[in-house]
Amino acid sequence: MLELLLCATLTILPDYLYRRYRQGKRIGHEITLYSVWYELRFGIVACLMLTVSLITMIFYFHPSTTSATLYYRTVPIMTEVNGRVAEVHVDVSADVKQGELIFRLDSAKQEASLLTAKRKVAEVDAAMLAAQADVMKAEGQLQEAKGSLQQAQDELDTKSELQKRNPGIVPQRDIEKLGVAVAGRQGALDAATASKQSATTRLSALLPAEKASAEAALAEAQVDLDKTFIRAGVDGRVEQFGLRPGDIVTPNMRTAGVLIPEGAGRRALMAGFGQIEAQVMKVGMVAEATCISKPWVVIPMVVTNVQDYIAAGQFRGGRTTD
Write out pLDDT tens, residues 249-301: 887 766 777 888 887 766 778 888 877 777 788 888 888 888 888 888 988 88
Tell me what pLDDT residue 38 has. Answer: 67
Instruction: Burial-class residue 182 by CB neighbours within 10 Å (0-12, 13-18, 19+).
Output: buried
Contact 258, 75 (CB under 8 A): yes
Whole-angstrom CA distances from 221 to 6, 95, 141, 210 are 77, 31, 42, 16
pTM above 0.75, yes or no: no
Write out pLDDT tens, residues 173-229: 766 776 777 787 788 778 878 888 888 888 888 888 988 999 999 999 999 899 889
In whole angstroms, what is the distance from residue 284 CA to residue 277 CA?
16
Percent of the chain with pLDDT over 70: 90
Question: Whose CA is closest to 84, among 259, 198, 233, 243?
Answer: 243
Tell me what pLDDT residue 254 has. Answer: 66
- Top-confidence residue, 80 or 13: 80
Q: Say how many Å lie between the first and final Cα of the chain, rounded.
A: 42
Domains annotated for the chain, with CATH where assigned, are: 1-62 (no CATH), 65-70+268-322 (no CATH), 75-106+229-261 (2.40.50.100), 108-223 (1.10.287)
pLDDT > 80? residue 132: yes
In whole angstroms, what is the distance from residue 174 CA to residue 48 CA?
138
- The letter for the amino acid at 230 is I
Tell me what pLDDT residue 304 has. Answer: 86
pLDDT > 50? residue 37: yes
Tell me what pLDDT residue 322 has. Answer: 46
Tell me what pLDDT residue 247 has. Answer: 83
Greatest mean pLDDT among 31-40, 148-157, 191-200, 227-236 lies in 227-236
* Total number of residues shown for the chain: 322
Tell me what pLDDT residue 26 has. Answer: 75
Percent of the chain with pLDDT over 90: 5
In whole angstroms, what is the distance from residue 123 CA to residue 130 CA?
10
Contact 61, 280 (CB under 8 A): yes
Tell me what pLDDT residue 216 has. Answer: 92
Tell me what pLDDT residue 308 has. Answer: 66
Tell me what pLDDT residue 315 has. Answer: 60
Q: Kindly indicate the confidence band of residue 119, based on its pLDDT and cuts at 50, 70 and 90.
A: very high
Average pLDDT, the chain: 81
Instruction: Burial-class residue 298 by CB neighbours within 10 Å (0-12, 13-18, 19+).
Output: exposed
